Amino acid sequence: MMRERAALDVSHLPAHAYGSREPLWWGNLLLLVIEGTMFALALATYFYLRKNFAHWPPPPTPYPELLLPTINLIVILVSLAPAIRVHVLAIREGSQFQIQLALLAEIAFIIAVLTMRFFEFRDLHCYWDTHAYGSITWTLLGLHLLHLVASVCETALLFVWALTHRLDKKHRLDLSLLAIYWYFVVASWVIIYAVVFLGPRLM
Amino acid sequence: MSVETEDIVTTARRRVTTDEARDRESLEKTWKSPPGLWGWLTTTNHKAIARRYIVTAFIFFLLGGVEAALIRIQLSRPENHFLNPDLYNQVFSMHGTTMMFLFAVPIMEALGLYFVPLMVGTRNVAFPRLNALGYYAYLSGGVMIYVAFFLNIGVDTGWFSYVPLSGPDYSPGKRVDFWAQMITFTEIAALVGAVEIITTAFKMRAPGMSLNRVPLFVWAMVITAFMIIFAMPAVMLSSSMLASDRLISTQFFNPAEGGDALLWQHLFWFFGHPEVYIIFIPATGLVSTLISTFSRREAFGYVALILSLVATGFIGFGLWVHHMFATDVPQLGQSFFTGASVMIAVPSGVQIFCWLATLWAGKLQLRTPMMFILGFIVVFVMGGLTGVMLAAVPLDLQVHDTFFVVAHFHYVLIGGAVFPLFGALHYWMPKWTGRMMSERLGHWTFWLMFIGFNLTFFPMHILGLHGMPRRVYTYLDSLGWGRMNLLATVGAMIIGVSVLLFIINFLQSRRTGIIAGNNPWNAATLEWATSSPPPPYNFVYPPTVRTRSPLWDEGEDAPVVTGLATECREVLVTNMLDAEPDHRYELPGASVWPLALGFGVAVTFIVVIFTPWGIDIGAVLCLIALVGWFWSSIEKKKNLLVEPDREPLEDEL
């Protein structure tokens, strides 16, 4: 049945977009808000528990080590470089080969960070069940570790996709969101590092 | 309203020739679910998923109601032995847990998941597969805790499981662990729903639906969704801390090792107070919608209503210590929370007056949904008044842990949420089933519920003032509480009858109700612009709007959106402020991966109660599901359409 009617024709509009124009960007952002709230509450818990102690960390637990965690902090900050490169190449329709290289570099960085994270737990000089200080510091490191694992899995998955398919706009959007997620992982770590490793010496 | 918006919809006056029959046929093919059980398990249709949520949540409502009846039978006379103390503890804990986590929040979110896409004029939610996952998480959590309950390992430490009672020292066994993990499941579902609602409402609205034309129910759901996002992490964190204290000996709540019992209360109530507004604010959206339809006019004070909701949302995060007045938090701090708890009555009051003004200036139609709204006003205002009373520390200290508090929160929750909900169920049933419900049975349902409710809960104010404590399985005869308790039990049975009548009404009207048509109530919002029930794609041509009440203000020839592909599941993405068309977006079809990930998540969180290997096994299953989910995201339209390319703008990073 043919009918004449008033209409707004949208067939000329593009089928993809990047950044805040795209629903998936909003989904990613809201996820980061949720995770950020979780971290904020865990940090609040850290300071809440602190008030129960005259000495922090409670003796005989010594201050957490600084050397390895600081090296790891530098590594994680430098890992922003390949992430930014992936982000910019993805949305500026850059070379797929360059993107593959940057993703590979990113994976290498995250694996390095993960390895050092393993030793950072040891550098706390206590266990999660030793006392409340141990419980909250292991929780902060552990929650962040979950994000590191998620990031390396996601980056590896997109890397394999980029090796086996020609990147279309949809997957370039995915790459940009992966980068944004990594920025969040790095930013949250800067704060957690400061609180857990520098904090006791300053308080 | 900006000039650009005016221009968009004015230029829409261009005349176009559409072949509706051909487009409808193409859409039917593209949007239909696979047949049979497989189709049921893999659907990503927001209406199917929302219906599932509503039916499941209603079943939990009935189970919670049975638990309430058991409580009332036990308390109907002094020194009763219908339930032994242990069973009583499980029953009241399951009652609260069921009603708060498994009924109230899910059903309100589900109304949002069903109606937000329709009311904003789009075809589905922004992330259809994620939506399906949310339901599977919810179902897993609810089934898990009920299986535990039927095996006599139900939670018995109250719906908020205070430490140290719920900790490893005083609650050995697995009861509290099931409760803690149920929280994780239901919070995942709630967060998923919140992300869907916000993204859909912000990015997928009909052209011309600028923010100041968005329906009040959609605003209420968006504000609720933001509250969910900021509140739920607190309970996920605290329940995980409780589970880890119990399972791997962390010391979060153990004072001997520097932990803190009050930490639990702070984290729980930081979630718990916003939780009640998460339940109430959608109900205010329902009230605005129903009052508008049954007064035959737009709700009075659109901006005041929205700002009140925003204020309630903000202030609601500053109230939580009023649940802790009987602890040793400093008095100065307590005063702050008294102030905030009293202050929150102001925006609620503003809303009540806006609604009263709407009723006053409108032409009242006393159909069943409106009866529930009038009941809401009476009951909720009473509950709000006792709330202001409880906000004062001296009074709270006297009635803390007594039935006065039970009376208060049932008045605000049943009055403030359940009454509007039943109004909404009668209102939207024709849209879901295509048939009207019986007005006669509807009125009987209302009056029995109203009378039964007041008979049950009003005496509890007095019982509380006379000192009857909560959560104790019986009481002595010499205390003289027997008569009022019996009255309350009779009232509870009357509520039961009213719910039964509702179910009979529902079943009967499905077979013999009057056919509803598109818009039986002659209402204003866009869900009534399509068939009852709506087709899977919601609208053949998505609408455009120029006012807040599109169906009242537009004639037959309202401009529609054309040019969206019908061979793949394409929707229109618009910009946030003025809903100008931005680009086209392809949604996925039916998928098995949400079910797979739901299974993986269920295995992780249930097995970990018994052994840490749950993490390892579950992680592998989840990883497989996530890889499958990602790998199957292929766009159909790559092969169909050519799109113009351009450089991204600076602000798209």
The answer, yes or no, to whether the previous bond of B533 is cis (omega within 30 of 0) is yes
Q: What is the DSSP string of chain A?
A: -EEEEEEEE-TTS-S---GGGSHHHHHHHHHHHHHHHHHHHHHHHHHHHHTT-SSSSPTTS-PPP-HHHHHHHHHHHHTHHHHHHHHHHHHTT--HHHHHHHHHHHHHHHHHHHHHHHHHHHTT-S-TTT-HHHHHHHHHHHHHHHHHHHHHHHHHHHHHHHHHS---HHHHHHHHHHHHHHHHHHHHHHHHHIIIIIHHHH-
B13 pLDDT tier (thresholds 50, 70, 90): low
Sequence-distant (6+) residues with CB within 8 A of A71 are A116
Q: With CB atoms and an 8 Å threshold, state whether B581 touches A136.
A: no
Q: With CB atoms and an 8 Å threshold, state whether B584 touches A10.
A: yes
Of B456, B336, B476, the closest CA to residue B403 belongs to B456
Tokens matching residue B171: 């609650």
For residue A67, the distance in angstroms to the closest alpha carbon of chain B comes to 27
Helix (H) or strand (E) holding B581: strand B581-586
Q: Is the pLDDT of residue A2 over 90?
A: no
Tokens matching residue B274: 């916003």
Q: With CB atoms and an 8 Å threshold, state whether A6 touches B13.
A: yes
pLDDT at B11: 57
Angle between helices B302-315 and B216-248 (to 10 degrees): 10
B12 CB neighbours in chain A (<8 A) are: 6-8
Q: With CB atoms and an 8 Å threshold, state whether B652 touches A132.
A: no
Burial classification of residue B477, based on how many CB atoms lie within 10 Å of its CB (0-12 exposed, 13-18 middle, 19 or more buried):
exposed
Q: With CB atoms and an 8 Å threshold, state whether B559 touches A161.
A: no
At B515, is the secondary structure helix, strand, or coil? strand
Mean pLDDT of B46-70: 98
pLDDT at B7: 58
Structural contact between residues B309 and B281, judged by C-beta atoms closer than 8 angstroms: yes
Q: With CB atoms and an 8 Å threshold, state whether B14 touches A9.
A: yes
pLDDT at B18: 83
Angle between helices B613-631 and A132-164 (to 10 degrees): 30
pLDDT at B2: 45
- Chains A, B: CB contacts under 8 A, how many? 230
pLDDT at A156: 96
Query: Scanning every residue of chain A, which has its alpha carbon at the shortest distance from the alpha carbon of B644?
Result: A14
B207 CB neighbours in chain A (<8 A) are: 8
Kindly report, residue by residue over B128-137, the tens digit of the pLDDT: 999 999 999 9
What 8-state DSSP symbol labels residue B582? Answer: E
Mean pLDDT of A70-88: 97
Alpha-carbon torsion (B650, B651, B652, B653), positive or negative: positive
Tokens matching residue B12: 């829409």
* CA B509 remoteness from chain centre: 25
Q: With CB atoms and an 8 Å threshold, state whether A48 touches B263.
A: yes
CA dist B256 and B278 (Å) reads 36
Kindly report, residue by residue over B204-254, the tens digit of the pLDDT: 999 999 999 999 999 999 999 999 999 999 999 999 999 999 999 999 999
Kindly report, residue by residue over B460-471, the tens digit of the pLDDT: 999 999 999 999
The answer, yes or no, to whether the previous bond of B536 is cis (omega within 30 of 0) is no
Q: With CB atoms and an 8 Å threshold, state whether A2 touches B19.
A: yes
Q: With CB atoms and an 8 Å threshold, state whether B635 touches A42.
A: no
Q: What is the DSSP string of B174-204?
A: SHHHHHHHHHHHHHHHHHHHHHHHHHHHHHS
B647 pLDDT tier (thresholds 50, 70, 90): very low
For residue A23, the distance in angstroms to the closest alpha carbon of chain B comes to 6
- Residue B571's DSSP bridge partners are B585
Facing residue for B581 by CB, picked from A10, A34, A52: A10
Query: Scanning every residue of chain B, which has its alpha carbon at the shortest distance from the alpha carbon of A20?
Result: B652
Q: Is the pLDDT of residue B644 over 70?
A: no
Q: With CB atoms and an 8 Å threshold, state whether B560 touches A5.
A: yes
At B372, is the secondary structure helix, strand, or coil? helix
CA dist B330 and A156 (Å) reads 51
Tokens matching residue A192: 């957690």
CA A38 → CA A140, A170, B346, distances in Å?
10, 30, 30
Q: What is the DSSP string of B163-182?
A: TTTTSTTTS-SSHHHHHHHH
Tokens matching residue B169: 């020292």
Mutate to test the interface with B, among A1, A4, A8 (most CBs of B within 10 A): A8
Of B229, B235, B213, B270, the closest CA to residue B109 belongs to B229
Radius of gyration of chain B (CA): 25
B17 CB neighbours in chain A (<8 A) are: 2-4
Q: With CB atoms and an 8 Å threshold, state whether B191 touches A129.
A: no
Helix (H) or strand (E) holding B17: strand B15-19
- Residue B468's DSSP bridge partners are none
Mean pLDDT of B132-146: 98
Q: How far apart are the first and last CA of chain A?
A: 77
Query: Scanning every residue of chain A, which has its alpha carbon at the shortest distance from the alpha carbon of B637?
Result: A15
For residue A73, the distance in angstroms to the closest alpha carbon of chain B comes to 25
Question: In this structure, how many other beta carbons lie within 10 angstroms of the beta carbon of residue B427?
Answer: 25
Q: Enter the pTM of the model.
A: 0.95
Q: Is the pLDDT of residue B645 over 60?
A: no
B563 CB neighbours in chain A (<8 A) are: 9-13
pLDDT at B64: 98
- Residue B586's DSSP bridge partners are B570
Q: With CB atoms and an 8 Å threshold, state whether B236 touches A130.
A: no
Question: In this structure, how many other beta carbons lie within 10 angstroms of the beta carbon of residue A73?
Answer: 20
Kindly report, residue by residue over A148-198, the tens digit of the pLDDT: 999 999 999 999 999 999 999 999 999 999 999 999 999 999 999 999 999
Facing residue for B20 by CB, picked from A1, A87, A176: A1
Facing residue for A48 by CB, picked from B203, B260, B584: B260
- Residue B572's DSSP bridge partners are B584
Average pLDDT, chain B: 94
Q: What is the DSSP string of B520-577?
A: TT---SGGGGS-SSPPTTS-SS-B--SSSSHHHH--TT--EEE---TTTTEEEEE-TT
Of A129, A105, A110, the closest CA to residue A186 belongs to A110
